[in-house]
Amino acid sequence: MINSRNSKAVGLFAGSLDSILAFRLIAEQGIAAVALHFRLPFAIPGRTPTDDQLQSQAKMLGVSLVTFDAGADYLEIVRNPQHGYTVKMAPCIDCMAYMLKQAKLLMQEIRADFVFTGEVLGQRPFSQSKRSLKLLEKLTGLEGRILRPLSAKLLEPTIPELSGLIRRERLLDFHGRNRRRQIRLAREFGIVDYPIPGGGCLLTDTNFATRCRDAIDRNEFQTLTDIRLLNYGRHFRLPGKSKLIVGRNEEENRILENLTDSDQLILKPVETVGPVCILRGAKPTKKEIELAAQICARYCDHPGEQLVKVAANGKIYKARPCAEEELIQWRIGGPITRPSPVLELDRKGKNHDRRNSAAD
Ligand code: SF4
């Protein structure tokens, strides 16, 4: 039996219940673990642990935390996933491979023995099938070196198990989407402070996915600002192909103004309360600006059909509010609901929504 006292491992750490449990199982075997957390551009606001929460989780688990910001290279995965989309626009296989490759680099850098994750076999029908888990090993060059402690007994033994570094009999055989066993185990470990189990990212949200598809098709999915803009407001694709984003409340108005580049047109009502609107496009036509002003007028606080003064491009447009029936033809997806209802369970393990999602 190999002495595991000086052994190290790198674990993917989402801050979810599954990843917390995986870390506890590894710690129980005397392995020093490093928690690798990814800040992904499509994380669901309010569902993603803050830096402080991550730090206190790492402290509670007794592990060191490394965070990694996914950047433009990650956007290319979403634009063009080698292994397709699993749920809506979520490229889960490529996304997991991206994270595992970074984990592999860290493993090599700190001379760790293996990588582990909180994945549960069958929890996500496509990305967490036996076939997909095997494929991830191949794609990352980590054959035999990715341990999934929560489902290990249902999978082929890995190198750390075969070498005696990890005792297989102390690993688990969790399977499927029901998280009752995880919740029971958390109770046994005395873990009470963990996020409501859930999964997925914004890419699994129907409306967000519609916006992404539209942006990719129009070459507007290039920068992290492009992505942030997809998160806020109502979105419309106007007849000349420019895009109009309309703030839904004061906070969104402020965010949209901050995210606006100098080459984008801002529209604002001048004598009434209403939204900040951004018109994005190479060269919006006069007709598009007029239509944008009408849409802006539609969302202003004003009675009925009255003309509304909207400032844009150094001019004041007197706009008649656009009719609801007209708006529908230009709308890109509905509002983004937060948090996205991908998979909700309460702490008693009761499912509220069983929509398929992807990896934590
Ligand atoms: S659902 Fe999870 S695995 Fe799938 S793309 Fe989003 S973050 Fe990646």
State the CB neighbour count (10 A cutoff) for residue 118. Answer: 27
Q: How far apart are the first and last CA of the chain?
A: 33
How many whole angstroms separate alpha carbon 321 and alpha carbon 208? 26
* Residue ranges of the chain with per-residue pLDDT less than 70: 1-5, 197-199, 303, 336-360
For residue 66, list its beta bridge partners: 36
Residues 6 or more apart whose CB falls under 8 angstroms from that of 123 comprise: 18, 176, 177, 199
Please, what's the largest Cα pairwise distance for the chain?
A: 82
Q: How far is CA 354 from CA 17, 61, 94, 141, in A?
A: 18, 30, 23, 33
Q: Is 252 left (phi over 0), alpha (psi -120 to 50) or beta?
A: alpha
Predicted model pTM: 0.88
Per-residue model confidence (pLDDT) at position 162? 98
Q: Which pLDDT does position 46 carry in this prediction?
A: 77
| CB of 200 closer than 6 angstroms to any ligand 1 atom | yes
Could you report the per-residue pLDDT of 214-243, keeping only the tens digit for each? Answer: 999 999 999 999 999 999 999 999 998 999
Cβ of 92 less than 6 Å from ligand 1? yes
Of residues 65, 70, 71, the one with CA closest to residue 50: 65
**Whether the CB of 359 sits within 6 Å of ligand 1:** yes
**Distance (Å, whole) CA 49 – CA 216:** 28
Q: What is the reported pLDDT for 48?
A: 84
Does ligand 1 have an atom closer than 6 angstroms to the CB of 203? yes
Whether ligand 1 lies within 6 angstroms of the CB of 44 is answered as no
Per the CB < 8 A criterion, the answer to whether 137 and 115 are in contact is no
| Ordered DSSP codes for 207-249 | HHHHHHHHHHHTT--SSHHHHHHHTSSEEEE-TTS-EEEE--S
CATH 3.40.50.620 is right for the domain spanning 8-196: yes
Question: Taking Cα atoms as reference points, which of 7, 15, 54, 51 lies closest to residue 33?
Answer: 7
Whole-angstrom distance, CA of residue 56 vs CA of residue 105: 25
Sequence ranges of the domains in the chain: 8-196, 232-328
Residue to mutate (ligand 1; options 74, 95, 128; most atoms within 8 A of CB):
95
